[in-house]
Structure 1
């Protein structure tokens, strides 16, 4: 017997913020809610130039952006998120040429950039001597994590700003990543100066990260799959096993976590659990009834936000196939279910 569904308690989950409500909130807050128009992207770029923080949509998740060359602005990212200072940030650029100027480029980087940029793929490469990007971005490492996002709003913002933008996910450190502007406002509030509302993020999982300082190595699975990387490189890519030292963003053992406990590979439901399903199962929210991993990835964080908002103490998740995008989905779920330490909340 399945427990009574809690789906009736789920909040409405529109992709955009209610602008009227947002305007009322702004009477007591400095937070600006901006649209994805060229004019508002120019306003957001001005906020970045003044050392402010701007949350903006990418195809993966919403990023919390700051001028990557401004030490104080970058420090505000860590402070606003409660992010540990040893966890490096990804720097976003509008195109390959702009990104190349800050790192020691490689043939593998050229091949992968040609295939996947703009898109959900991040490179970790040695920092080029003389790069003005803040050392805080690298968290003490001699490398930079760089990406060229494909989202049109991100592209408009980056070109309006005219410089590199450091941007981890726009949420409190360790918590569920934001895939809608409302998630950013709920999680960060006036810790951010402006939010560019570009609707729901289509990929819904953070970028794949590949280390390219030596032989290519997969540091974090994401929107570009291992098989896709291998096809371009002409060989299977090495996969980083658990290591003591963090070499790129997204490697904390506990991450992407709701307030509720997460129970994985649930084949039956326990009383009073929020139920996150995949495939032909009875549940509160279904990542993809037709077992489409692309659809499941796009829904994952939003559905976790919704189930967490019900106040359930546990979110139970049915098994997700461990291939293709399922590898990245399972990576996020495993980290969400991991024991939580001081750095993860």
Structure 2
């Protein structure tokens, strides 16, 4: 199993050393736990794909500690500058033209001339990024296509010894991956909904397109999280369920009176932010041996509920 260390200055220093030397480090962000490697080191990045069994055509997000580091690898226009100044650090990833001499491995960008970049809103994550001194490619720290990890135990259970170090920072606060916005063209495109809402973005830079959340030509994604089947537990997921069928675990939302070992409530208060934070942990807890499936009751399709339902639709999609 991977070495697990707590949140300390020594842990940050050790994480930086491992990342600079080409190793893999899992660390918490406000969204989910990431699996980090030096984005300029092709061999290190290849270890991410090997550990996750991730398709090499699926690009990665590069994490940076500050905007200065982001501008060294990506070209910012006025829209990007406004969003970074207002919404960073935070759960927003920007797809931008890759800067000349960025040094970013082609494995990170899947050969595209764009790069996905974000600055996490998590003190421990940014401390590790600053200590590493290099841009860090960091997808979620789980086997490809499976449920994303929101606690250090999820990482060790899913990836085990494939990770050199897990920096434990407790449960993540947001619980679902970042919003992804493509700014590489003349009109912004929302590629993945998340905690930063479309309305927040449009209030700053004007209208955005909402039709880019699935992989494009020939099923080739331009950003993470666009494959039809993703975020999936081993058990099949059934959406908009009224009740559990025999052998199913039921995931509910709101003031649902059903209780017991076979029922998990994302938020008894009906709080969508709380539901988002609990979503992946609930899917992992419901994915029990011997159960026939996971039933999920209806989740309001508004605000961050749009992102929750995006993850659930992909979790329930037919497996390839």
Which residue number in structure 2 is paired with residue 309 of structure 1?
288
**In the aligned structure 2, how far is the partner of 1:247 from the partner of 1:116?**
22
Are the counterparts in 2 of residues 93 and 148 from structure 1 also a CA contact under 8 Å?
yes
How far 1:218 moved relative to its partner?
Answer: 0.3
Q: Deviations over 1:87-141 (max 9, x none)?
A: 0000000001110111111111111111110000000011111111111100111
How far 1:270 moved relative to its partner?
Answer: 1.3
With 271-280 and 55-64 compared, the bigger mean Cα shift is at 271-280
Are the counterparts in 1 of residues 74 and 97 from structure 2 also a CA contact under 8 Å?
yes
**In the aligned structure 1, how far is the partner of 2:243 from the partner of 2:74?**
49
Residue 85, structure 1, aligned to residue 56, structure 2: yes
With 42-51 and 231-240 compared, the bigger mean Cα shift is at 231-240
Which residue number in structure 2 is paired with residue 272 of structure 1?
247
Which residue number in structure 2 is paired with residue 188 of structure 1?
159
Which residue number in structure 1 is paired with residue 225 of structure 2?
250
Aligned ranges 1:18-97 → 2 under 5 Å: 29=1, 31-97=2-68
Residue 293, structure 1, aligned to residue 272, structure 2: yes
How far 1:261 moved relative to its partner?
Answer: 0.4
Q: Deviations over 1:119-170 (max 9, x none)?
A: 0000001111111111110011111000000111101101111110000000
Are the counterparts in 2 of residues 226 and 237 from structure 1 also a CA contact under 8 Å?
no
Q: Deviations over 1:158-201 (max 9, x none)?
A: 11111100000000000000000000000000011000000000
What is the root-mean-square deviation in Å for CA atoms of aligned residues? 1.2
Which residue number in structure 2 is paired with residue 124 of structure 1?
95
- TM-score normalised by length of structure 2: 0.95
With 276-285 and 136-145 compared, the bigger mean Cα shift is at 276-285
Which residue number in structure 2 is paired with residue 216 of structure 1?
188
Which residue number in structure 1 is paired with residue 313 of structure 2?
334
Specify every segment of 5 or more residues in structure 1 that has no aligned partner in the other structure, as ranges.
1-28
Residue 146, structure 1, aligned to residue 117, structure 2: yes
Residue 160, structure 1, aligned to residue 131, structure 2: yes
- TM-score normalised by length of structure 1: 0.88
How far 1:310 moved relative to its partner?
Answer: 5.0
Specify every segment of 5 or more residues in structure 2 that has no aligned partner in the other structure, as ranges.
none
